Amino acid sequence: MNTAMSPSIYKKHLSRITSYLKKKGITVKLNSKEFTYSSEDDHISCSSKSQGSYEYICGLLHEVGHSRQLNSHFHNMKKSINRNRAIILEQEFSAWSNGWEIASELKINNKQLWIVYQKEWLKYWNHYIHLATKPETSAAFISDRVDAYPVLKSADPIHSFNRLPH
């Protein structure tokens, strides 16, 4: 069940976040199938299902948090299942942490939002803990997931060449 938000507060929150994204050159699709962030084309999409709710604002802030990530603490280490698992959990945690930092900068960090934000953070981070550690999850799947995080590529000199603006 999503937590309903007053339409005027929702509008205010959404417009602060979208103008931040505009300034950063990140495009956003507000009525998509799921919440995602793609570093390759600097694009965020949001699940239309939760539009109008606190959960929607939280999901969007999490994706914005991904766009602001620093290099992983483990990016220089030889690839291994333990390293890759750690990166997934690190990246998913820090995206939530960054997302709240952005909410504070945009001055939308009110108590009601924080209550839902914490719940969503716990829920989705636990989802990744489970996914990354359950025996059925293949090492290949974990490795692909890690490769999708932008920060690792930018830390690699070969990839940073490819990422230069053209």
Q: Which residues sit at the interface with Zn ion, rule CB under 5 A?
A: 92, 95
State the Cα–Cα distance between residues 48 and 25, nearest whole angstrom.
22
* Shortest separation between residue 75's beta carbon and Zn ion, angstroms: 17
Which residue has the closest beta carbon to Zn ion? 95
Comparison of 12 and 153: residue with beta carbon closer to Zn ion: 153
State the Cα–Cα distance between residues 93 and 23, nearest whole angstrom.
25
* Shortest separation between residue 35's beta carbon and Zn ion, angstroms: 8
Comparison of 26 and 95: residue with beta carbon closer to Zn ion: 95
* Shortest separation between residue 16's beta carbon and Zn ion, angstroms: 21
Comparison of 9 and 148: residue with beta carbon closer to Zn ion: 148
State the Cα–Cα distance between residues 15 and 120, nearest whole angstrom.
21
Helix spans in the chain (H): 7-24, 54-66, 81-105, 111-133, 139-147, 150-154, 157-162
